[in-house]
């Protein structure tokens, strides 16, 4: 297969659903398709970084099980009560979760690796918490970039990089296709995810989570519509479908998520090959 055309891969936000990108990567490898540039946002930044560093599929699956553990949120309820009672004071640098577990996992996975250690160019999206501006991370430690991109506002503390407080990239751009466009990718494979809505809401926390899903999903749809109209020829949108709700920490669903990503990717391989030929 001719490989002159440069392929950009974009993995959007979606929590544990982003593990579907492992299935996508498996299909690409089976068809002999290599990626030349990768962009990640929020949960997708984990997999974008892993791909750019040349992690194996098995390593990426292991990373998924280690990261999406209920231990990540173990202090959530006690901290929420402490903030509500006034025992603790909430500031712009606070979060409802102590990020010690997240810190430990990301440190183990990425260590001191930097963007110069990647085998292909990597771009990670975060949001400036104080200004709302999108921030593209392309240098320095990969740990810092990923930690910033997954910092769900109010849940995890923001992460400071170069003097800026950064939070979850999904707040500003859940599927940053334009980054691949700006870097002149000839063909762009964009895997995005819609967040699940809640059927019942019995707390303000649940209401806020539901409203966040509405906001992020609408932002995603508008972005998809714009980029599809503007660059429809070279963009392959892959949105895996799930026949059941996927909880953030449902690690038992990981094999299913990967399989759904594989299935969704396989459906577009014929078209991808036609673009590359």
Query: Structural domain of residue 245, as residue ranges?
Result: 7-276
Residue 85: left (phi > 0), alpha (psi -120 to 50), or beta?
A: alpha
pLDDT, average across residues 222-237:
70
Q: In whole angstroms, what is the distance from residue 114 CA to residue 111 CA?
A: 9
- Inform me whether the pLDDT recorded for 229 exceeds 50: yes
pLDDT of residue 73: 76
pLDDT of residue 1: 44
> What's the mean pLDDT when you consider all of the chain?
87
| Confidence band of 91 (pLDDT split at 50, 70, 90) | confident
Q: In whole angstroms, what is the distance from residue 140 CA to residue 162 CA?
A: 10
- Inform me whether the pLDDT recorded for 76 exceeds 80: no
Please count the structural domains in the chain: 1
- Residue 65 belongs to some domain of the structure: yes
- Residue 96 belongs to some domain of the structure: yes
- Residue 2 belongs to some domain of the structure: no
Q: In whole angstroms, what is the distance from residue 44 CA to residue 175 CA?
A: 9
More confident residue, 67 or 89: 67
Residue 87: count of CB within 10 angstroms of its CB: 10
DSSP state of 131: T
pLDDT of residue 248: 76
CATH number for 170: 3.40.1090.10
More confident residue, 205 or 12: 12
- Inform me whether the pLDDT recorded for 89 exceeds 90: no
CA angle 221-51-69, nearest 5°? 75
- Residue 112 belongs to some domain of the structure: yes
| Confidence band of 168 (pLDDT split at 50, 70, 90) | very high
- Which tokens is 232 given? 């429809």
- Residue 1 belongs to some domain of the structure: no
- Residue 167 belongs to some domain of the structure: yes
- Residue 102 belongs to some domain of the structure: yes
- Inform me whether the pLDDT recorded for 213 exceeds 70: no
Contact 161, 144 (CB under 8 A): yes
More confident residue, 86 or 152: 152
Share of the chain above pLDDT 70, in %: 83
pLDDT of residue 219: 67
- Residue 50 belongs to some domain of the structure: yes
């Amino acid at each position: 297969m001719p490989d002159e055309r440069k392929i950009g891969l974009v993995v959007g936000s979606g929590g544990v659903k982003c593990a579907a990108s492992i299935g996508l990567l498996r299909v690409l490898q089976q068809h002999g398709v290599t990626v030349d540039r990768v962009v990640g946002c929020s949960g997708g930044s984990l997999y974008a970084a892993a791909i750019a560093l040349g992690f194996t599929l098995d390593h990426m699956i292991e990373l998924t099980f280690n990261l999406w553990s209920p231990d990540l949120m173990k202090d959530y309820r006690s901290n929420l009560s402490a903030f509500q009672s006034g025992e603790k004071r909430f500031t712009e640098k606070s979060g409802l979760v102590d990020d010690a577990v997240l810190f430990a996992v990301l440190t183990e996975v990425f260590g001191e690796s930097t963007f110069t250690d990647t085998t292909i160019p990597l771009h990670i999206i975060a949001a400036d918490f104080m200004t709302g501006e999108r921030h593209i991370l392309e240098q320095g430690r990969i740990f810092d970039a990923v930690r910033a991109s997954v910092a769900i506002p109010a849940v995890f503390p923001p992460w400071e990089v170069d003097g800026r407080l950064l939070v979850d990239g999904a707040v500003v751009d859940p599927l940053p296709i334009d980054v691949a466009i700006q870097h002149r990718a000839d063909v762009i494979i964009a895997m995005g995810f819609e967040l699940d809505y809640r059927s019942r809401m019995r707390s303000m926390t649940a209401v806020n989570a539901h409203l966040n899903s509405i906001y992020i999903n609408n932002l995603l749809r508008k972005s998809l519509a714009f980029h599809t109209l503007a660059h429809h020829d070279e963009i392959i949108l892959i949105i895996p479908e799930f026949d059941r709700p996927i909880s953030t920490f449902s690690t038992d669903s990981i094999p299913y998520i990967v399989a759904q990503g594989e299935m969704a990717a396989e459906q577009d391989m014929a078209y991808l090959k036609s673009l590359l030929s």
